[in-house]
Amino acid sequence: MRKKVAIVGMGFGGIRAARAVAGQGHEVVLVDRNNYHLFQPLLYQVATAGLEQESIAQPIRAMARGWPGTRFHLAEVSGVDFAARQIRTDAGEIPYDYLILGAGSVTNFFGLESVERHAFDLKELADAENLRNHILTAFERAVIEPDPARQRALMTFVIVGGGPTGVEFAGALIELVHFVLAKDYPDLSTHAARVILVEAKDGLLASMPEKQRQYALRKLRRMSVEVLLNARVVDAGPERVMLHDGAVIPAHTLFWSAGVKAAPVAAALEVPRTTGGRIPVEPDLTLPGHPEVFVIGDMAYLEQDGAALPMIAPVAMQMGSYAGRAVLAKIAGAPLAPFHYRDKGSMATIGRNAAVASAFGLNFQGYPAWLVWLLLHLYYLIGFRNRIVVLLNWVWYYWFHERQVRLITRRGSSSCCRLAASGEPADRE
């Protein structure tokens, strides 16, 4: 019997669920508030002028062309009526027989309102463009700033969070300053620019083996990134960042990558929630009491080997593939074993020829890890054109230390630039 399968969220999990269900004789409805799939791991390269934003996104309708029986709704989901089996959206209600919820996550500021007001994060394409505009505008302002202290504050960038995003962004930003902006602004003493990475724990990259963690720390410090361990940001303003010990860092740019929480739609559902707003699920990823509803990715809370599965892309991808197969199995009345996550490792790039990796049962760093990081990111990037464009950008930067996307696409007090002409922050979108 033909069933209607709705998939909310076209992130890593939703895309793989759609691939598994499409073409199997059922109606598949894809729902997302964006009309594209975003490759979030490379957002920081858009923010640091390394890649065009279009090169890390793929239109959902373009992908759905090859998925028989699939249609797409551009809509914002506001809730789900589980009894009536309907998704509530700003474009009307969408009925379903089976539902896969994979709306992802948003940045968690842990109740720090001043930080949320003044900090940048990277979850959407617009975030990356806004941050790039802000960084480049800060240097434009610094080059004409007569006050040395204010000039240095304009060139000070505080990054919170020593996970892969924070480490990769810090490395990319310091390379942008030293190898590119130093040539763009010969009248500016860019050696005075500061990139400060703040981590609350006693080391970076907590999921990595100790040897790789120490390598990352040494490498960043050799690149002149100031790494502050056992430190927490507790307050922020348009021109300063305050740490837990009372220290104040004069800085016009604060980037937050210290945590995530489930997407707001999770809070709109009348279901139990746990740490980070995540929804506890059964071993087969179904919602307790609703065997026709699956929750995947960052929204789902599932323990394995005594610990909750992390909110990372590999977990979402495996959950998405499993949920797609599970829906087909339920329709066919066939049994399916509980979900089990296979940890294939993790990696992070630090800069040119430098990365750390714990993958395929091996732990390595330096050039080999960097090369593996490049190849895997190209492999998982969706779209042949995107792979070519990203590869060409990487090759160009590798040989010439040049980043072509140094574009300020909006100026002034608009929301793209947190710092307005008066020195006050613009409202966030």
Residue type, 241: V
CB 302 within 8 A of CB 262: no
Residue 168 annotated among the catalytic residues of the structure: yes
Q: CA 397: distance to chain centroid?
A: 23
Alpha-carbon gap, residue 367 to 354, rounded angstroms = 5
CA distance 235 to 240: 9
Task: Please give the sequence-ordered ranges of beta strands (E in DSSP) within 2-161, or none if there are none.
Answer: 4-8, 27-32, 36-38, 57-59, 70-74, 77-81, 86-89, 92-95, 98-101, 105-107, 156-160
What's the rounded Cα separation, in Å, for the pair 288 and 282? Answer: 6
Domains of the chain: 4-33+75-107+260-332 (3.50.50.60), 113-258+345-400 (3.50.50.100)
* Beta pairing class for 279-280 and 226-228: unpaired
Which tokens is 187 given? Answer: 């009248």
Strand (E) or helix (H) holding 329 = helix 313-332
Residues of the chain with pLDDT > 70: what percent?
96
Residues 339 and 319: beta-carbon distance below 8 Å? yes
**Mean pLDDT, the chain, integer:** 94
Give the per-residue pLDDT at 329: 97
Q: Which two tokens stand for residue 252?
A: 């016009």
Residues 276 and 255: their CA atoms lie apart, in Å, by: 20
**How high is the pLDDT of residue 412?**
61
What's the rounded mean pLDDT across residues 308-331? 97
What does pTM read for this prediction? 0.93
Q: Give yes or no for a contact between 329 and 321, defined as CB atoms under 8 angstroms apart.
A: no
| pLDDT score, position 418 | 44
Which one from 52, 76, 129, 168 is the annotated catalytic residue?
168
pLDDT digits (tens, 9 = 90+) for 130-159: 999 999 999 999 999 999 999 999 999 999
Give me the torsion for CA of 380, 64, 101, 126, rounded to 10°: 70
